[in-house]
Amino acid sequence: MNQQAAPERVAVITGAGGGLGGEVARILAEQGTYKLGLVDNRSDALQAVADEVAEMGADTLPLIVDLGDAVQAASVVSKVVAKFGRVDALVNAAAVLRRCELDEITPEEFDFVYHINARAPLLLTRAAMSDMAERGWGRVVNITSTGVYEGGFTLSSLLYESTKGAVAVMTKMFASYGAANGILVNTVCPGGMRTRMLTEQTDPALIAKAEREMIPLGRLAEPSEVAEMVVWLLGDKNTYASGSEFDITGGIAIH
C-alpha cells in the first residue's frame, strides 16, 4: 500500500530568531513539508535561522518586523500570503520580558510589553484565521507561562505574566471561533526555558533557586523539548485538541 505523502504547508513563526521559535523552525524544516515565514526584530539572529533552515531545504521568507508596531504586525500574514499563497499554521512565540518593580511600571513600559506580547498575537491570529478559513484547515499555537496559573515567581515579571494571561483567554475564544472552519488553537505553557530572554533578564541565583526548589526535574527546559509539543499541535496528527493548555513544566503542579 502506498503511503499518502504529507501535504505541503505554510507556517508563520514569530520570534523565529529566538530559542523556541528557532527550534520550531528547525523541526519543521526537517520534516520537509513546510514553507516558513520567519518573523523577528533582530536581523542577525533571524538571518542565521533563515540560512540554517534554507540549507535544510526549506523555502523561507525572513521578515524583520517590530511586533510592537500595530501596522507592521498586521502586515505579516499578508506578506507571507503574497509569497507563498496561503498560511496554514501560526506560532506566536515572540515575547519580551522586562523586569521592573511595581512602582517602576510606567504607561510606556506597559504599552511596550502588552503590544508585543498580547496585541501582536491577536492581530496575527485574526489575519491568519481569515486566510485559513478559506480552506477549512488551520493550526495556531500560542506560548504562555506558568504565571498564568500561579501569578509568577516574583512581582518583577507582572507585565510579562499578565500578557500571557491575556493570550490564554484569547486562545480559548479563538478556538471556539475557529472550530467551524477546521482551525485548532492551543497554548503551550513552559515551566521555564533556557532561552536568552530568560537568562538575560533573570538573576542566575533566582534561576538556580527555581531549579532547586520548584522544578521536580531540577532544571529548566531546553527549547527543543518544548518545540516538539508545538510542532505536534501544528500537524495533521492533531485532529481534536483545541482550546487547551499543554504544560511542559518538568513536573511543576500548576492546576
The amino acid present at 225, given as its one-letter code, is E
State the pLDDT at residue 147: 75
The reported pTM is 0.90
**pLDDT tens for each residue of 88-141:** 999 999 999 887 889 999 999 999 999 999 999 999 999 999 999 999 999 999
Q: Which 3-state string (H, E, C) describes the chain?
A: CCCCCCCCEEEEEECCCCHHHHHHHHHHHHHCCEEEEEEECCHHHHHHHHHHHHHCCCCEEEEECCCCCHHHHHHHHHHHHHHHCCCCEEEECCCCCCCCCHHHCCHHHHHHHHHHHHHHHHHHHHHHHHHHHCCCCEEEEEECCCHHHHCCCCHHHHHHHHHHHHHHHHHHHHHHHHHHHCEEEEEEEECCECCHHHHHHCCHHHHHHHHHHCCCCCCCECHHHHHHHHHHHHCCCCCCCCCCEEEECCCCCCC
Stretch 19-33: mean pLDDT, rounded?
Answer: 95
The torsion defined by the Cα of 77, 83, 89 and 95, in degrees rounded to 10, comes to -50
Q: How far apart are CA 53 and CA 57, in angstroms?
A: 7
9-247 belongs to which homologous superfamily? Answer: NAD(P)-binding Rossmann-like Domain (3.40.50.720)
**Mean pLDDT, residues 43-49 taken together:** 95
Domain-wise residue ranges, the chain: 9-247
Using one digit for the tens of pLDDT, what is the confidence trace for 148-190? 777 766 777 799 999 999 999 999 999 999 999 999 999 998 8
CB distance 226 to 190 below 8 Å: yes
Q: Residue 1: is its pLDDT beyond 50?
A: no
| pLDDT 10s digits, 191-235 | 776 666 665 666 676 666 665 557 666 667 788 889 999 999 999
How far from the centroid of its chain's Cα atoms is residue 186's Cα?
10
Mean pLDDT in residue range 22-48: 96
